[in-house]
Amino acid sequence: MSKATSLQELSNQNEFIGRHIGPDAADTELMLKQLGLDSLEQLVEQAVPESIRLNEAMKLGGAVSESDALAELKEIASRNKVYKNYIGQGYHDCHTPLVIQRNVLENPGWYTAYTPYQPEISQGRLEALLNFQQMIIELTGMDMANASLLDEATGAAEAMAMAKRSNRVNKSTVFFVDEQSHPQTIEVVRTRAGFFGFELHIGPISDIAKTDCFAAYVQYPGTDGEVPELKSLADALHSKDAQLIVGADILSLVLLESPGAQGADIVVGSNQRFGIPMGFGGPHAGFFAFREAHKRTTPGRIIGVSIDSRGKQALRMAMQTREQHIRREKANSNICTSQVLLAIMSAFYAMYHGAEGVKRIANRVHFATKVLAAGLEKQGYKIRNSSYFDTLCVEVDDRQQALMQRAVDSGINLRAVGKNAVAVSLNECTSEDDIKDLLSIFAGSGFSDVFEKLEDLAASIEAIPPALLRKENALQHQVFELYHSETDMLRYMKRLESRDVALNLSMIPLGSCTMKLNATAEMVPVTWPEFGKMHPFAPLDQAQGYLELFEQLEAMLATCTGYDAISLQPNAGSQGEYAGLVAIANYFKANGESERDICIIPSSAHGTNPATAHMAGMKVVVSPCTIDGNVDIEDLKAKVEQYGKRIAAIMVTYPSTHGVFEEDIRDICALMHSIGAQVYVDGANLNAMVGLAALGEFGGDVSHLNLHKTFCIPHGGGGPGMGPIGVKNHLAPFLPSHPLQEVKGTKLENGVISAAPWGSASILPISWMYIRMMGKEGLTDATRYAILNANYVAEKLKEHFPILYTGKQGRIAHECLLDLRPLKASSGITEEDIAKRLMDFGFHAPTMSFPVAGTLMIEPTESESLAELDRFCDAMIKIREEIADVESGKLPQDNNPLVRAPHSLDDMLEEWDRPYSREEAARPLPYLHDHKYWPYVNRIDNVYGDRNLLCSCPSIDNYADEV
Ligand SMILES: *Cc1c(COP(=O)(O)O)cnc(C)c1O
């Protein structure tokens, strides 16, 4: 019996920490013993250089239990006021089908998956993404589409860059922007254009024909509702070798003639209103569709159709060699993490409703708008736009303020346009009562009309010019007809999910990606309506809960990094890098040092770094690494000597992408500062540091943090993510701003990075919950255990595979590189063979050939228990034995379980004539008798897919051919 004398004593306030961190006390003891250590402290002393170690605890609160943290967050959320939003401007209320919410958005089988670099174990999300591309291709009328960008505004900026990149004939540097574009798009484009040296011409679309430009961006329909005819614009642009880029509303495309059919060259937009909550700005998927001629210059990832080694149809990311990880120079863009989970949700939305269902939704929104227009006109109001889909711009003379106020008093948000007009955008959720409420507000009295009469009037309104009505229905592919019952939808989603390996199946030891626990308690608030139903441009007095959340999270992240100020705007690490370099450029501009245009980047850098430097108008100078994998400080000194005050910044990753804490980091920072340059520390690897060392403390001026790595936002199969940046005080005045919301302490001329002022606001509760539940002790322990788990794996594997780099005392940070080049020389077995073979063991491969070709980079994270680490190491050791059999000649080089991996059920069921057994192929270790994952396809042919690029859904008949 316990002799407790208080309830408090029996409560386990810190329970969450033990749930988040894999190893328990007994495991820890065993692991330390294996490493020849007495304590975790001793390991930290050996792994983390003294020169950077913090000597006091972080100034964060203590750990809070799951239920207390949730209650606290619920209280914060309750300060958000969920009004009816008719603000529009790219964000609209909609219904998320609950079968999709529960089985995708709230399902770890989908949200904990990684970007599908290993296609054989990602066929489920690849198929869902292919469906997304098919949906976008049909709606936009274009040849091809990618698998998502971060939002509509950055999509527009990427389109601008691509239009220039792909056009060598037109020498103009002017980019035309329709003045009816959404304001956030104009500002994001303006910021990018400045660094590319483009001049923006913002004007009415009637100016396009007479403006010398290389491309024009047109909003379809315009932000105030008008539906422009695109064909004549496309013709005018094409006649001067310029391109037409269209920013399209996805729901309107169901009814409107597609931009593709009217000659558009690139079409971008947001998938938000296809079933994704507004979430105060995100996350949503930006879509991006283009002509086939653009396929090699397009940003983002494209899912393509290929075949596997049996000739069975299989999907993969097309043209993967363009991936920024691999190709440092001439990247098409810096996009890495995109918005896979949201793209998939919207594809399911279209499949669930089908062509007819989606059309009914679009028709309903459009008809509701006509009813509203009829009622307003009856009241004597003039509608400014002569055509519309869902948005009316109503002339209200001097009554604007009074009307807006009356609306707010009734819990309704309208949008002011200029001084004398009000815009109203209707949506999928708008009901008859909502229309009556709106008409009452405009009337200034109760609704006294007869609704049916208004409907009669509406039926005779022609709000879309006949020439702009879609001739051929969209969503005609069979996949949109197959899953209309909830049972069928549910089973289809489950079927796809079961083809994939995600964190709910086994550890995903991807170096540099930090695949750690995404706890349920962290995920639960994401679907609270207090967070989901908020429009990003709603008046801020309605968003006090969000503002409180931002303020608290910013303070937490500042403490974790040693920085003074945080911007939550960037939607991914790549965008954080860009925001950081923009801040640096603006800082130098303000100080009269605009001549600084060089960014030094070590050769081991993540591919996003140089791509970002180019976007920020900087020239990249690559600095080599020493044979120990560290930045070569002597070479750096020479570069400083050579380029002097032309150097704007260095971008270093810390701990390095080689998985080591470099001893010289303080000296590197000091050297750069000695010539007035800035230090950008890529903080994607923060998981090895929180609580033990701080970027801002040892010399960083600015960093991005990947909340989807260190701070537990799940990877979603390749997004969403969040890449906020931290800066020291001197850069704080240069953080990103926004045209439609006041972002405290910023000015519009700082530039705008994302469409939404606080990026993907609705997933920030995940990181808040994590930090709150871990507290300062928990977070520091997580770091210690990330280092312990990595060193334990390195210790167990080092006699089987050489570890490429270690720190001075023989320890690594949170990840390690296995050097497989010697094995390749002795056996012909490649890192790819090992990656594929791991699938037979039910594991996702570690990061392959980054940052060094011929290596695997393992990052176990703190969340894996000793049992799981051992299981993974056993698999790796078993694989090493198989390689030994190839080396010794016991197994032929071209017919062994490695080169023929992964093994599918098809392999098992056919006649067996291989020099190894079925058992060895499929169940090489005993634990596989307990649970076996079967790869859905065999090894996929990369070359075939790129030669025959197909990024839309093949006809269903192809699927029927499989067996
Ligand atoms: C993941 C990563 C990035 C890019 O982050 P995204 O969110 O994918 O854009 C940049 N640098 C490093 C070192 C990374 O590991």
Half-sphere exposure of 10 toward its Cβ, with a 13 Å CA cutoff?
7
CB neighbourhood size of 335 (10 A): 26
- Give me ligand 1 centre to Cα 309, in Å: 32
Amino acid identity for residue 287 in this structure: F
Q: Which atom of ligand 1 is nearest to the CA of 709?
A: 1
Question: What pLDDT is attached to residue 961?
Answer: 38
DSSP state of 748: G
- Give me ligand 1 centre to Cα 536, in Å: 26
Mean of pLDDT values over 417-429: 98
Q: Which atom of ligand 1 is nearest to the CA of 574?
A: 9
Task: Say if CB 312 and CB 939 are below 8 A apart.
Answer: no
**Residue of 150, 335, 512, 577 with the most ligand 1 atoms within 8 Å of its CB, for mutation:** 512
d(CA 617, CA 401): 43
- Give me ligand 1 centre to Cα 813, in Å: 17
Question: What pLDDT is attached to residue 616?
Answer: 95
Q: Which atom of ligand 1 is nearest to the CA of 657?
A: 13
Fold match between domain 84-105+143-300+335-469 and domain 571-760: yes
> Which of the four pLDDT bands, split at 50, 70 and 90, describes residue 11?
confident
Mean of pLDDT values over 232-257: 98
d(CA 145, CA 477): 15
- Give me ligand 1 centre to Cα 574, in Å: 6
Alpha helical stretches, state H, 807-904: 821-827, 831-840, 866-887
Question: What pLDDT is attached to residue 953?
Answer: 83
> Which of the four pLDDT bands, split at 50, 70 and 90, describes residue 960?
very low
Question: What pLDDT is attached to residue 326?
Answer: 39
- Give me ligand 1 centre to Cα 607, in Å: 8
Alpha helical stretches, state H, 324-466: 340-378, 400-409, 432-443, 451-459
**Residue of 323, 574, 657, 753 with the most ligand 1 atoms within 8 Å of its CB, for mutation:** 574
Backbone angles phi, psi at 510, to 5 degrees: -80, 110
- Reply yes or no on whether the pLDDT at 662 is more than 50: yes
> How far apart, in Å, are the Cα atoms of 155 and each of 141, 266, 291, 570, 737?
17, 10, 15, 14, 18
Backbone angles phi, psi at 749, to 5 degrees: -70, -10
Q: Which helix (H) or strand (E) holds 945?
A: helix 942-947
Q: Which atom of ligand 1 is nearest to the CA of 337?
A: 8
Question: Which residues, 6 or more positions from 141, have their beta carbon under 8 angstroms from its beta carbon?
Answer: 257, 258, 259, 260, 261, 262, 264, 267
Question: What pLDDT is attached to residue 368?
Answer: 98
> Which of the four pLDDT bands, split at 50, 70 and 90, describes residue 962?
very low
- Reply yes or no on whether the pLDDT at 287 is more than 60: yes
- Give me ligand 1 centre to Cα 25, in Å: 33
Amino acid identity for residue 169 in this structure: V
- Give me ligand 1 centre to Cα 548, in Å: 28
DSSP state of 103: I
- Give me ligand 1 centre to Cα 223, in Å: 33
Question: What pLDDT is attached to residue 681?
Answer: 97
- Reply yes or no on whether the pLDDT at 329 is more than 60: no
d(CA 76, CA 846): 39
- Average pLDDT of the chain, as a whole number: 95
Reduced to 3 states, what is the DSSP secondary structure of residue 547?
helix
Reduced to 3 states, what is the DSSP secondary structure of residue 625?
strand
Amino acid identity for residue 482 in this structure: L
Token couple for 33: 């013993």
- Give me ligand 1 centre to Cα 512, in Å: 8
Task: Say if CB 875 and CB 841 are below 8 A apart.
Answer: yes
Half-sphere exposure of 298 toward its Cβ, with a 13 Å CA cutoff?
28
Question: What pLDDT is attached to residue 873?
Answer: 98
Vertex 537, ends 532 and 543: CA angle to 5°? 60
> How far apart, in Å, are the Cα atoms of 415 and each of 89, 151, 408, 497?
9, 21, 11, 41
- Reply yes or no on whether the pLDDT at 951 is more than 90: no
pLDDT digit string, tens, across residues 121-154: 999 999 999 999 999 999 999 999 999 999 999 9
| Domain boundaries, given as residue ranges, for the chain | 84-105+143-300+335-469, 571-760, 774-929
Vertex 16, ends 13 and 19: CA angle to 5°? 140
Question: What pLDDT is attached to residue 963?
Answer: 35
Architecture of the structural domain at 774-929: Alpha-Beta Complex (3.90)
d(CA 50, CA 142): 57
Query: Sign of torsion, CA 700 703 707 708?
Result: negative
Q: Which atom of ligand 1 is nearest to the CA of 723?
A: 7
Query: Sign of torsion, CA 41 47 50 56?
Result: negative
Mean of pLDDT values over 13-20: 89
Q: What lines the ligand 1 site, CB under 6 Å?
A: 336-337, 512, 572-574, 606, 608, 653, 657, 682, 684-685, 706, 721, 723
Closest residue by Cα to atom 6, ligand 1, is 573
- Give me ligand 1 centre to Cα 337, in Å: 8
Vertex 373, ends 372 and 379: CA angle to 5°? 95
Reduced to 3 states, what is the DSSP secondary structure of residue 723?
coil
Where does residue 44 fall: left (phi above 0), alpha (psi -120 to 50 degrees), or beta otherwise?
Answer: alpha
Angle subtended by helix axes 40-47 and 25-34, to nearest 10:
50
Angle subtended by helix axes 183-196 and 573-590, to nearest 10:
70
> Which of the four pLDDT bands, split at 50, 70 and 90, describes residue 894?
very high
Token couple for 26: 């007994």
Closest residue by Cα to atom 2, ligand 1, is 684
Q: Which atom of ligand 1 is nearest to the CA of 334?
A: 9
d(CA 841, CA 872): 9
Where does residue 252 fall: left (phi above 0), alpha (psi -120 to 50 degrees), or beta otherwise?
Answer: alpha
Closest residue by Cα to atom 15, ligand 1, is 512
- Give me ligand 1 centre to Cα 861, in Å: 16
Question: What pLDDT is attached to residue 733?
Answer: 98
Mean of pLDDT values over 669-686: 96
Reduced to 3 states, what is the DSSP secondary structure of residue 631?
strand
d(CA 382, CA 403): 15
- Give me ligand 1 centre to Cα 722, in Å: 10
Closest residue by Cα to atom 3, ligand 1, is 573
Fold type of domain 84-105+143-300+335-469: Aspartate Aminotransferase; domain 2 (3.40.640)
> Could you tell me which of 187, 95, 160 has the C-alpha nearest to residue 756?
187
Tell me the percentage of the chain whose pLDDT exceeds 70.
97
Model-level pTM?
0.97
Name beta bridge partners: 726: 566, 703
User: Strand 725-727 vs strand 565-567: parallel, antiparallel, or unpaired?
Assistant: antiparallel
Question: Which residues, 6 or more positions from 318, have their beta carbon under 8 angstroms from its beta carbon?
Answer: 302, 303, 304, 945, 946, 949, 951
Reduced to 3 states, what is the DSSP secondary structure of residue 403?
helix
**Residue of 336, 695, 709, 847 with the most ligand 1 atoms within 8 Å of its CB, for mutation:** 336
Which has the minimum average pLDDT: 34-48, 309-323, 902-916?
Answer: 309-323
- Reply yes or no on whether the pLDDT at 330 is more than 70: no
The answer to whether the peptide bond before residue 655 is cis (omega within 30 degrees of 0) is yes
Task: Say if CB 804 and CB 629 are below 8 A apart.
Answer: yes
- Reply yes or no on whether the pLDDT at 494 is more than 80: yes
Amino acid identity for residue 62 in this structure: G
Token couple for 547: 């503002």
- Reply yes or no on whether the pLDDT at 332 is more than 80: no
- Give me ligand 1 centre to Cα 631, in Å: 19
Closest residue by Cα to atom 14, ligand 1, is 684
Closest residue by Cα to atom 8, ligand 1, is 337
Question: What pLDDT is attached to residue 591?
Answer: 97
> Which of the four pLDDT bands, split at 50, 70 and 90, describes residue 712?
very high
Closest residue by Cα to atom 4, ligand 1, is 573
Task: Say if CB 69 and CB 568 are below 8 A apart.
Answer: no
- Give me ligand 1 centre to Cα 572, in Å: 8
- Reply yes or no on whether the pLDDT at 323 is more than 80: no
d(CA 579, CA 585): 10
d(CA 909, CA 916): 15
- Give me ligand 1 centre to Cα 600, in Å: 18
Closest residue by Cα to atom 5, ligand 1, is 573
pLDDT digit string, tens, across residues 725-778: 999 999 999 999 999 999 999 999 999 999 999 999 999 999 999 999 999 999
- Give me ligand 1 centre to Cα 798, in Å: 27
User: Strand 415-417 vs strand 598-602: parallel, antiparallel, or unpaired?
Assistant: unpaired
DSSP secondary structure string for all residues of 158-225: HHHHHHHHT-SS----EEEEETTS-HHHHHHHHHHHHHHTPEEEEE-GGGTTTS--SEEEEEES-TTS
Fold type of domain 571-760: Aspartate Aminotransferase; domain 2 (3.40.640)
Task: Say if CB 295 and CB 548 are below 8 A apart.
Answer: no
**Residue of 654, 682, 709 with the most ligand 1 atoms within 8 Å of its CB, for mutation:** 682
**Residue of 326, 606, 615, 689 with the most ligand 1 atoms within 8 Å of its CB, for mutation:** 606
